[in-house]
Each structure stands twice: as C-alpha cells, then as structure tokens.
Amino acid sequence: MNDSKPTILHIEQLQKHYPVRGGLFGTRQGLVRAVNGLDLNLRQGETMGLVGESGCGKSTLARLVLGLEAPTAGTLLLKSKPLHQWDQPELRRTVQMIFQDPYSSLNPRWKIGSIIREPLDILGQGPASERKDKAARILERVGLRPDDLARYPHEFSGGQRQRVAIARALAPEPELVVCDEPVSALDVSIRAQVLNLLHELQQDFGLTYLFISHDLSVIGHLCDRVAVMYLGRIVELASKQNFFIAPLHPYARALLTAVPVADPTATIRPMPLRGDLPSPLNPPQGCSFHPRCPHCMEICTRETPLLQKKTTGHSVACWLHQSPPTSHSPTPNRRNDK
C-alpha cells in the first residue's frame, strides 16, 4: 500500500563491530558484532516496527541511523545521500529521536521551555521570539499547557515527561523519528495515551517512524511493517498483517507465541524456544538462530541464509523457506563506505 512512496532510509549490509579490548596491553580480544550485515528500507510516512530480544542490536542500529556511531561497513543512505556526507545540523533537523526513559533523557536542571527550544536554538531556526512561540505551540500539541514551559521535569509524571521528550523531538520538524522503546517505561493507561499521540502526530506531520520495541502488542498496534532482528540481522520483514497472521521465521513464530494473551480461557501454548540469545561476541556458525531452532537442519549449521523475498511484502532469512545454494555460498557484500 505504501509501495509507491519514496524511500527515506536505505540500509544495505550494514555492520557495526565493536572491538573488545583487555589484557595487559589492551590488545583486541574479540569483536562484538552488534549489527552484522543488516538490510532495511524505510518508506516515507510509514512506521517500521523493529522487534528483537535485548542484545540483538536494536539500539546500535538506532545509533547508526542517528549518526551517533559510524558503521564499520555497509551502506546507509538517508534520502539517497550517504549519512556521513550529511552535515550535522541538517542531519539533526531531518532525523530526531525519542528515548525509552523520560526520567534520564530530560535535563533536570532545565525548564521545559529550554529543553524544547534547545534544538531550535542550536539549529538557529528563526528569531528568538518565534522559537519561543513554536515551543509553546508544540507543547500544546502534545497535550501539555503553554505555561508548563516554565516548569521543571520533576514536576511532571512519567507520561507527561515522555510528552515533553516527544515535543523536543518534533520541534525541529524532522522527517524521520527513531523511537527507541518510547512506551516501555510507562504504565498501561498512560502507554495508550502516548501511543495515540504518536499516531496523531504522524498523521499531522507526515512523519516516518523507526519504532523499536520488544513489545509485540505495541508493534502490532502502531506499525505498518515489522522487521524482526536477531543477532545483528533482519531475519523477517513483513507487512503487519502478514507478520501477525502468517509469520515465517521460526524465531518470529516463537516471539508471537511468547506474547502473553490477556485471556484466561486461552490455552497456554508451549514455548518452542529454549535458552537465551547467544553472545554477539561469538555468534554461532551458519544461521545464528540454529542452536535454539526447533527446525534446525544440517545446512543451517553451515550456511547463513540471506533475507529473500518470499511473497510480496514478505521476506525471510531461513533455509526452511528458500532453496539451499547450489554451487557457491552467497558472499556478503563487504563494500566499505568509510
């Protein structure tokens, strides 16, 4: 449905490896492959939900998209231009973020007005009086009162603080907003308020969201498409309907099974997944999911499956759903963009 919309973010074979240093001379002991060959496309105006367990590299991906970290290898195009070629103010005006914890993401010594105005001041958008007006307008838009500008973060509840964080992110009128677990720290009733607000704002401002969450019910509510991440890679990418009705990857199916259902009469489904996420320091050979996979085959222990289109709007990286390579194994693209 959004197929015609232009691509705002194009990610191809993105890698971010962190060296682990230790020992007497701080020599390199290993490599954490936080993002390890990731492909993803975001279209203008859509909400892409990114799910995965802690440690799968979701937040590292967010930091890469925000330009807070430089990728080790791979392509990251924002509006068709490599991210590292953007100049900082222009990048910050285009991409903004909302963090998980509204208690640590707002400076406790600053008034709400200064917090919301800061990005505008730094980016030098218009004269001071105009910036002040704009801050008041955006604050009202997120459901707070203009006179709250003169108050401090501690005077607000968690849900209100998250509204302030949203106002700050939207003040410079960004096009892409990276939301890293924006409602995870909020209570059920407040979470619903903030989810509604995020959706309204998207409609009003034509925003594109990269929405990171471990909570599939939130993803299912807000997102157009879902990307499932496992140890630094996307293992399934589908429209919301396809994902929730017919997930393909065994890991995606396990995630959906694990979601607790608010219905005491529902039969409790056995959890098909055992064990924890393996360490990204030493990911398993072949498909990184194979040690936990109930359908593991011989090939899974040797070859890494690539993300391939299965049907329209549904891609999966799993040998169950694609034929094994015949002559040679696919070599991942190792272009270095630095």
Give the interface with another protein as residue ranges (CB under 8 A).
1, 53-54, 157-160, 187-193, 195-196, 199, 214-218, 220-222, 224, 239-241, 244-245, 254-255, 257-266, 268, 270-271, 273-277
* Residues 47 and 200: beta-carbon distance below 8 Å: no
Q: Closest CB to another protein among 131 and 156?
A: 156
Report, in Å, the least distance between residue 72 CB and another protein. 26
When the beta carbons of 111 and 221 are compared against another protein, the nearer one is: 221
CB of 256 to another protein, least distance (A): 9
Q: Output the six-digit token pair for 33.
A: 């492959």
The C-alpha atoms of residue 68 and residue 338 are separated, in whole angstroms, by: 15
Own/partner pairs, 297-301, CB within 8 angstroms, 24+ separation:
299/324
- Give the gyration radius of the chain's Cα atoms: 21
Question: Shortest gap between Cβ of 145 and another protein (angstroms)?
Answer: 14
Least distance in angstroms from the C-beta of 251 to another protein: 9
Instruction: Tell me the C-alpha distance between 230 and 16, whole Å.
Output: 14
Least CB distance to another protein at residue 193 (A) = 4
With respect to another protein, which residue has the nearer C-beta, 133 or 276? 276
Distances (CA, A) of 210 to 66, 96, 225: 11, 10, 10
- List the strands of the sheet with 7-22, edge to edge: 27-43, 7-22, 73-78, 81-82
CB of 334 to another protein, least distance (A): 31
CB-nearer residue toward another protein: 108 or 275:
275
Q: In whole angstroms, what is the distance from residue 163 CA to residue 183 CA?
A: 11
Toward another protein, which CB reaches closer, 83 or 144?
Answer: 144
| Nearer residue to another protein within complex by CB, 164 or 218 | 218
Residue 39: which of 291, 316, 310 has the closest Cα? Answer: 316
